[in-house]
Structures are given as structure tokens and as C-alpha cells.
Chain A
């Protein structure tokens, strides 16, 4: 009989092989896919986020855990989609137009996914039109925008303006973050929230969804 506590521990330690094996065994044994996510993987990523926040984990360890979690989610997600389980929320995320830096965005995406969000990651250098299309295709609740450079921060404003022009601004909450981004800037451009780090961004996303429901 598979030991499901191994699943949680393997996500925390970043062991993708064990995560895949235990997930396969658990699904074969008839465990509910959603239970594997909610009772083991999400708590594991919560713990990873806690360790990241308290400087027990750094970027390599967080990415390792994210990869392990994805190894399990690849097996689970098709089953969740088939059974139409609701996610914690749908997030379209990307690094804004002109900016090719993605490590911060990747950390946020991983922790969001770990928290049960459905994440549509558009990558780097994302044109506002691509964000608009992704919102429409995925019926997104949140748009999360990242920028590392002061020179690309204006793309966040342009993206929000494009959402307004497309008539989508009231349908989604826009969250922004990245090294040079500040709460003041977020307020100036009309974003709905600002996260100063990856863990804060996930809390903000949870809060945003809770307020909207």
C-alpha cells in the first residue's frame, strides 16, 4: 500500500521521481485525485513557501519542489478536468512586453499552482493582446504581471489600458510584482494588488479570490 505521506515529503524535498511513483500508485489504488492535491501537495507547497519565506529554502530548492509537484500534477490534472472539479481560481501570468526575465514570475506561478490555482503561464515578453486572448480563452479571474526592469514597468500600465479598451478590466483582478515595482506604482497604474515577494503574491491571489466570491 502506498504511503501518501511520502507524496507530501517528496514535494517538499523536490524528489520528482518519488512524487510521480506515489501519485501513480495512489491513483491506481483508487484515491481521489483532488484529495492528493488538497491533502498532500498543497500543504507541501505551503511548507515550501514557508521555508522560502524564512530563508530555509532559496530559489533552487523552490524550483526543485515546483518541478516535483508538476510531476504529480501532470498525472492528476487530466482527471480533475474530466471530473470538472473547481480550482482555487484561474490565473493568467506573464512577464510583460519587453522584459525577458522570468525567475520571479516562475516562483509565483509554482506557488500559485501549489495553492490549487489553475495557472496559464504565457512566459516572457508577453504582448497585452496575448493576455487579452488568454483571459477570454480561460475565463481568468486574475492577471498576474511581472517586470524586473524599470524600463519595462510601463508595459504594466499599457497592459491594464489594453484590458480596459478590450472591455475586460472589470472581469479580472490585476496583480503586479517584480524587483522595481512598488505599491505606489501599482496604485498609480490602477492595479488591484501588489506582492513584494512570491509568497505575498500567492496570499494576495487567495485574498482576491475570496473577496470576489
Chain B
């Protein structure tokens, strides 16, 4: 059973030989090839090489195209700052939609138009071509709150929920349409699954989440499922106050960050919901030792039960000792769901 079959069968509820292993790597993967992170994020060939080398060396069941949150915003004309050795970041004080009225003139960029989204689509295609029969290929898009924050500025968006709810809904409508087009291009390029990163959603309380964000996440996820792809939801940070809503979205995989205990996720979501996570990427995975990593992954597994995938709470940090990552791998490889 290869990694792709393992993950897809597991998500379908069929028996698999061991627990799937799907940690997020970005800077760690770039470092495996010695590439500058600037090149990893902007050149699909560098990204694919880093992902393939990392997935092969550590027996990941998948490869993934996430590099930074700025692909879509960059194509929308946002000012993005690039760094040699860390992810590109959006310059918030020059946000694309600093002026709310600019939304009416904003056109959805073509995901195959030669921009950063196109680069992501090419990464999917190259990964599919090179390892797509053995590893699950996962594309990536931003969720409604995260992308709205990228376009509007996260501090401003947080106030918009109270100042101008109508604008927020218009912005989310724009974002959902753009993200579905980007996702469709990735699915057509061969993605088996689409990851949705909606980090900013963890900053709001349950009332705003339910009223504003959940309906748009739901619409996005239904749109992705209608394309025939699987969906992984990744919300960084403390999501304890929105776990029920996350569980009602119908995602194939829900990631939990280390601030949200797996036991709480399990208690507040359907018993069949696949949970992924969630050892602390810094204090345990990077700064701990293999024994601690193994013990913490076992605890996550115990709390999650059989519908569980091994991974860290968030990205594997660049300077994580390889033996610690191998300890995660060894746990996954030696345990049944």
C-alpha cells in the first residue's frame, strides 16, 4: 500500500496498514534541498523538489504546495515583501483593499494567468507527474477569513466585522469565488486534495465565527466537494471556541493546532471526523527529543481514537532535528489507526 492509497482509503473509511502521516513542511522542505525560501515560494520546480525529497526521506504519505498565504493576494495586486529565508508576507499598511471602495473594481485574477497562483498550479502538476501515483498530492488555498485579512489588512478586517458587516460579506463573496477558481485549476492539474488555511478565523469569537465566517467556509467546502476533491481544514491558533462549527463543515480532515487539545476536538466533533495533529511544533517537535515526540504523538492518538492522522499542530519548523521527525514517522509506521 503506497502513501496515496493509504490516505485515500483511510479517508473513505477503508482498512489501511498503518496510520497516515501528513505533516506540513515548508521551510523545512526548502532546507532539505539547500534552497533559499524565496525560491521555494516563487519557483514551482524548487518547491516540488523540496517536497519530493522531504516526503521520500521521511516517508510522508503526501506532498503539499503550501508556501505562504500571499499567492492569491499577490495576484490581486497586493504589495508583498519577499525574504531570502522566510515566507513572503503581505505589507499590511499598504493593503490592497485599504480603501473599501476598491473592492468594486477588483477583478478575480486568472489562476492560469502567469502569476503566483499559476505557479502553485504548476507545482501541483509537477508533483502529480513525478510522484502522483505514490503520494497524495495536496494543493492549497486560503480560507475566507484569512484571504479577506490578506486583502484588507487583518487589523482592519477585525474592526470591519462591527463597522461594516455588509462590506465583509461582499469581500467574503469575492474571496470564495476566487478561491474556488484557484482550487479548480489545482484539481484539474491533478490535486487529490485541497488544503484550506483559514488562520485568521481563530482570532474571532464564536458569535462572529458563526455569523460571518462559518457560512462562507461551508460554501467553500461544498464547492470543493462538488469538484470531487477532498478537503483539509487548517486553522492555526487556539480554536477551542469554534470547534463545533469546524466539525460541522464536513471537511475530510480537520487539523488542530497545539493550542486546541485533540481531546476537546474529539469530544466536540463527530466521532468519525478525521483529526490531524497536534504536537507543539516548537516546544515538542523542534526543541524536544525523539522519546518526547513519540510519547506526545501517542497521547494525541489515544485522545483522537481511530480517525486520526499523525502531524504536528502546524508547520514543522525549519531547524527541527531530523530524528524528531523520524520519531513521528516511526509512530505512524508502527501503529494501526
Q: Hey, which bits of chain A sit against chain B, CB under 8 A?
A: 14, 55, 57-61, 63-64, 67, 98-103, 106, 123-124, 149-152, 179-180, 182, 184
| Inter-subunit contact B317/A150 (CB<8 Å) | yes
Interface pairs A-B: 8 shortest CB-CB: A58-B205, A59-B203, A151-B86, A100-B89, A60-B158, A150-B317, A180-B282, A63-B158
For the complex formed, measure the closest distance between the CB of B41 and the CB atoms of chain A, giving whole angstroms. 13
For chain B, the bracket of interface size reads 20 to 34
Contact between B158 and A59, CB atoms less than 8 A apart: yes
Shortest distance from the beta carbon of B33 to any chain A beta carbon, whole Å: 17
Chain B positions 17 through 47: 1 when the CB is less than 8 Å from some CB of chain A, otherwise 0:
0000000000100000000000000000000
Given known A100-B91, A182-B282, contact A63–B155 (CB-CB < 8 A): yes
CB of B85 within 8 Å of the partner chain: yes
Residues of A within 8 A of B208 (CB): 58, 60
Complex alpha-carbon distance, A98 and B37, angstroms: 14
B90 within 8 A of A: yes
Chain B interface residues (CB < 8 Å from chain A):
27, 81, 83, 85-87, 89-93, 154-155, 158-159, 161-162, 203-205, 208, 237, 241, 281-283, 286-287, 317-319
Which of A59, A100, A123 is most buried by chain B, counting CB atoms within 10 A of its CB? A59
Q: Are A103 and B282 in contact (CB under 8 A)?
A: no
A149, B203: Cβ atoms under 8 Å? no
Please give the distance in Å from A106's CB to the nearest CB on chain B.
Answer: 6
Given A55-B241, A59-B204, A100-B92: A106 in contact with B86 (beta carbons within 8 A) = no
- CB <8 Å contact, A101 and B89: yes
Residue from the set B85, B203, B281, B319 with the largest chain A CB neighbour count within 10 Å: B203
Minimal beta-carbon separation of A211 from chain B (angstroms): 27
* CA gap between A63 and B162 in the complex, in Å: 11
Q: Is the CB of B159 within 8 A of A67?
A: yes
Instruction: Please indicate the chain A residues that have their CB under 8 angstroms from the CB of B154 in the complex.
Output: 103
With contacts A60-B204, A63-B155, A64-B162 known, what are 12 further pairs, Cβ within 8 A? A14-B162, A60-B162, A60-B208, A61-B205, A67-B159, A98-B86, A100-B89, A101-B89, A102-B155, A103-B155, A124-B92, A151-B318
Q: Are A151 and B85 in contact (CB under 8 A)?
A: yes
15 contacts between A and B (CB under 8 A): A14-B162, A58-B205, A58-B208, A59-B158, A59-B203, A64-B162, A98-B83, A100-B90, A100-B92, A103-B155, A103-B203, A150-B319, A151-B318, A180-B281, A184-B283
